[in-house]
Structure 1
Amino acid sequence: MSAIRRIDVTLKDHDYAVHVGSGARLLLPAVLRELGVGRVALVSALPQRELPDPGVPFTVVPVTDGEQHKTLASVETYCRAFVEAGLTRADAVVACGGGTTTDTVGLAAALYHRGIKVVHLPTTLLAQVDASVGGKTAVNLPEGKNLVGAYWQPSAVLCDTDFLDTLPRRELLSGYGEIARCAFIGAGDLRGLDLTDQIVASVTLKASVVARDERDRGPRHILNYGHTLGHAIERATDYAWRHGEAVAVGTVFAGLLAGRLGRIDRNRVAEHREIVESFGLPTWLPSGVPAATLVELMRRDKKGQDTDAGLTFVLDGPRGVELVPGVDERLATSVLADLPTGAAPASD
């Protein structure tokens, strides 16, 4: 096992470590021993032969990853499987999968017996740089993304970079969408780093933000950079566009909108597109989706406050990135019209 990097997430009532590197999954037995766990439910879409031995009695709960399975029905299925496995509040759930598995299983862990320990083994780049860290768990409704959820911090996160070796190109792109937007929220330009260093930098930034604002009362809003339009694109395309791809377009849009509002200069606007393009990410809107549809979906975004007062975005500006309410819908529609349209990135 090569050197594994550790990032500590320090919260008021709960601390945990994120381990990043080749072979990080092999730390699972030691982590569970330290937690004093008697048995676990190992929830994953992977075949059992590819799952790490947790070192304690375990039950494998099979899942299907993907946004279409990120539902309350899936949460109920997992919780019933936990009952069948005999899990008590002294036990734990291990979520091994992508971002949708992390979110959905995390919510199930938060609700089962009013909360049991969860350890995340994220297997995609998106999950490693974002979804597995920070304690946000949620599922989708037909009306929008992540509308039902809870804050439930993991007890540990093991980001084994070996999982990334066989990821399809579009899965890697989805993770790069989150890495690209980090340039505008405090991580700096990560393009010159190798992938492990990009993951560590992204997680380190997120850990510092979450430590200051665990429950989105202020500074944590910056982590939603590019996500207001991004979530709308996902929903409007019935998730044919991946999360990170949509966030990449949302990041370009955030730069254009901030420029139109006079919050940033022309060079900073251009930097948004340059960084997103350098990762091979899309900078265009999905074809066939009316701007009015995207505006309506953005109006439902969970960051929105008084919907009669306009839209709410996280935008760059002279004081740095901050939450900006009251953006006129006509202006947002005009900025959307400045973006070209096209198909989703091609699959492998």
Structure 2
Amino acid sequence: MLIGPGVRHRLAEQVARTGARRAVVVSARPAGWTPDPGVPHLVLSAEDGEAGKTLSVVERYCRRFAQFGLSRTDVVVAVGGGSTTDTAGLAAALYHRGVPVIHLPTTLLAQVDASVGGKTGANLPEGKNLVGAYWQPRAVLCDTDYLATLSAAELRSGYGEIARCHFIGAGDLRGRSHTEQIAASVRRKAELVSADERESSGRRHLLNYGHTLGHALEVGTGFTLRHGEAVAIGTVFAGRLAGHLGRITPERVAEHAEVVAHYGLSGRLPSGVDPAALLALMRRDKKATTGLTFVLDGPRGARRSPTYPSPRSPPCWPRCRAPSPRAEV
């Protein structure tokens, strides 16, 4: 894992370490921002965004791998946001039953979360990330130069994941530099993934803090809410639910809203969202078994909650009108 300005230029070094003789570079960035892997290669264009995170895109990548003659000793390089690293990573996991992959995440969201941990995935109309595989990258190069090219909205989406990290043991990252925020977020994720790579023991579930409602909001709004924006709302809701269940104090509940607001994010449900539809989507979440499952804060820190079986809305459901950049739920 390399973090800092200009680390994309070390791609050829990382490719050489895999022993690959050829590469396919799946890139959502312009040519000037897509580094040379140092071996004969094919560049496939990708389009960042959840709309392109489909199985048809994964199939297209795999077919181009085959046409190029990529072998299982070669390498796939993903250059882009989380949707690009997810789909290219899934294609790498499936093609020849697994070829090495290297990620160059180019958004703050991807650098703090999506590109690390070994999860790959694609969406279905029925829900987010319902198809995927665990496939660890050989290297991740987080070049902070890419962040200067991002819109304010794209940066806010990354801040949503950083805000969530506040409540899963990464510490208070407010006021820290991007490099420090990325390093702390990745360090905490690495600790959890190394202890529970495939979510078998429950430790890795902490990374889903705020995501049960967050994923439902993404799908329920047709992905007009960015991932980090949706996770921010889910994080505030997780605080409210934990407070309602007596797991945390009112002050800790308020801290959830304060941290999210610090990063310029809303903690309120957008207008026009049907709570019943969100509940149905949450029950399709990949963590759900017999009901709704949340990761909630508590006296010993965040833990996976017992199943919430009621078909009704949780009593602390945030019923708000329109989102406001700094409003509490």
User: Same-fold call, TM > 0.5?
Assistant: yes
Indicate yes or no: 2:102 matched with 1:122: no
Q: Which amino acid aligns with 1:325?
A: P
Following superposition of structure 1 onto structure 2, how do residues 216-235 of structure 1 map, counting pairs within 5 Å? 216-217=199-200, 218-235=202-219
Quote the sequence identity (%): 61
State the 1:342 CA deviation.
1.5
Which amino acid in the other structure matches residue 211 of structure 2? Answer: H
Conserved 8 A contact 2:243-2:249: yes
Distance 1:225 1:332, change over 3 A: farther
Inter-partner Cα distance in structure 2 for 1:146 and 1:214: 17
- Which structure shows the higher strand fraction? 1
How much has 1:51 moved relative to structure 2?
1.0
Deviation track 1:23-61 (CA, whole Å, cap 9, x = no partner) reads 010111111111111010010122223211111111101
Q: 1:340 aligns with which of 299, 320, 329?
A: 320
**Structure 1: 5+ residue runs without aligned partners?**
1-17
Give the aligned partner of residue 132 of structure 2: 149
Q: Deviations over 1:201-241 (max 9, x none)?
A: 00111011101000011100000000000001000000000
What's the offset of the Cα at 1:333?
A: 3.5
Is residue 240–residue 344 contact of structure 1 (8 Å, CA) maintained in 2? no
1:199 aligned onto 2:179: no
Are the counterparts in 1 of residues 122 and 130 from structure 2 also a CA contact under 8 Å? Answer: yes
**Distance 1:317-1:343 versus aligned 2 partners, 3 A rule:** closer
Match status 1:102 vs 2:85: yes
- Could you give the per-residue CA deviations for residues 151-173 of structure 1, whole angstroms, max 9, x where no partner exists? 00000000000000010011100
Q: What amino acid is aligned across from residue 32 of structure 1 in structure 2?
A: V
Preserved CA contact (<8 Å) 2:290 2:309: no
Q: Give the distance between the partners of 1:271 and 1:123, measured in 2 at CA.
A: 30
- Which whole-Å deviations, capped at 9, do the CAs of 1:226-266 have from their partners, x for residues lacking one? 00000010000000000000000000000000000011110
1:313 aligned residue: 294
CA contact (8 A) 1:292 1:333 kept: no
Deviation at 1:332, TM superposition (A): 4.2
- 1:320 Cα deviation (Å)? 1.8
With normalisation by structure 2, the TM-score equals: 0.96
Separation (CA, whole Å) in 2 of partners of 1:339 and 1:216 = 32
* Map of 2:75 onto structure 1: 92
Matches within 5 A, 1:293-304: 293-304=277-288
Aligned partner of 1:305: which letter? T
Can you list the C-alpha shifts for 1:151-204, whole angstroms capped at 9, x where unaligned?
000000000000000100111001000000111000111002111100110011
1:185 counterpart = 2:185: no
Q: CA 1:277/1:330 → structure 2, altered by over 3 Å: closer, same or farther?
A: farther
Aligned match for 1:256, one of 220, 233, 240 = 240
* Alpha-carbon offset, residue 321 of structure 1: 1.1
Counterpart residue number, 2:231 = 247
| Residue-pair matches, total | 324
TM-score (norm 1): 0.91
Separation in structure 1 between the aligned mates of residue 240 and residue 323 of structure 2, nearest angstrom:
21
Mapped partners of 1:332, 1:256: distance in 2: 13
Contact 2:275 2:313 in 1 (8 A): no
Secondary structure (helix, strand or coil) at the match of 1:327 reads coil
Q: 2:15 is matched with which residue? A: 32
Structure 1 segments, 4+ long, off by >3 Å, are: 328-333
Unaligned runs of 5+ in 2: none
SS in 2 for 1:121: strand
Displacement of 1:328 in angstroms is 4.5
Amino acid at match of 2:215: H
